[in-house]
Chain A
Amino acid sequence: MFPYCSPTPPAQWRQEVHLASRRWPSSIIFRARLICSADSFRLRPNLARPHGPVRTREKHVRPDPPSWSALARLKRNRPCRSTNGAAFADSRGSRSKSSREIDIWSICYLGFVLPKLTEEGELPPGVHVADWQEFQSRFGGSSFRRVWLSGRLRELLQLAASSGKLRRVFIWGSFVTAKPAPRDLDLLLIMDEDFEVDGVGAAAQAVFDSARAKLLFESDVFWARASIGREILDLWLDTYQTSRSFRKRGIVELELP
């Protein structure tokens, strides 16, 4: 199941981690990224931001960001072995000194970020975070059609990011299924609160015009400012997790570099 079963993390292993605290209910976990080297591991600061609702391992996550002083204490943890083969580090000995600190007592990093597809060829329900490299290796190269569409997607995201206001990207639809020839791309771009379409270059404006985006990138592009709020975004994402056949499915949040 897991590509790495050694209790010692391999060098430069970047994987998703789940953080849990004995102060929280057992259903609350954080998702973050861990950068491991042979002798230490640290969390990437920009990934300690709060995520939207995420269902992973049948748990619903609606976290607030942990304090960095608490996360920094994870460096002192000793990695050990969990029963399922994933590396596991435990820090039950550490105690918070301030009420703002979070007493994180366990950290578990997984071998896969994107889960296996279901029997229907779809991701299991939830919002699954993946970086570009992983997303590309999983969905971008198994057929000529997928290679073509991932090229379109890359160009579209480069244009959207050229505004400097791109905050989050979600992808769903046939491209994140097992279909060898997806029809098109379906994505949602969340932009900064002060984003204005008129403020970006002419080429990038095509991304935010659904008709032009369909023609140029074979994509159904949905977008909004982040100021719509987390609750509305959750509602929106929940809608896209329902397929046209009225079945719940997973979507991907593409991690921005």
Chain B
Amino acid sequence: MLLAQQCIANLRTVLLEARKVHSRQDYALMAEPILLEVQQREQEILEYLSSGLEQPVAS
């Protein structure tokens, strides 16, 4: 879990640094797949964390 969170933090750092060395248009293009990757990895963490919390609706 910590590894997964570290990966997301790494990708955010990459985005921050990339903003400094790319033009606005180029940054928009290069950041798009990274943002998608961050979103997917966050979703996976949420699914992992919530997998043990699901309760049956009907008893």
Contact = CB atoms under 8 A, between A and B. Distances in A.
Nearest to B2: A246
A229 B14 CA distance: 10
A225 interface: yes
Interface stretch (A15-23, A57-65, A86-94, A215-223): A215-223
Please indicate which of the listed interface residues A208, A210, A211, A244 has the most CB atoms of chain B within 10 Å of its own CB: A210
A165 B12 CA distance: 25
A225 B19 CA distance: 11
A246 B17 contact: no
Nearest to A193: B21
Interface majority SS on B: helix, strand, loop or mixed?
A: helix
A221 B33 CA distance: 7
B18 A224 contact: yes
A220 B32 CA distance: 11
Nearest to A221: B33
A235 B8 CA distance: 11
A220 B17 contact: no
A143 interface: no
Given A198-B25, A210-B36, A239-B10, A232 B3 contact: no
Given A209-B29, A242-B4, A227 B21 contact: yes
B25 A223 contact: no
27 contacts: A196-B23, A196-B26, A197-B25, A197-B29, A208-B29, A208-B30, A210-B32, A210-B36, A220-B33, A221-B33, A222-B34, A224-B22, A227-B21, A228-B14, A228-B17, A228-B21, A229-B17, A232-B13, A236-B14, A238-B10, A239-B7, A239-B11, A239-B14, A242-B4, A242-B7, A244-B44, A246-B4
Interface of B: 1, 3-4, 7, 10-11, 13-14, 17-18, 21-23, 25-26, 29-30, 32-34, 36-37, 41, 44
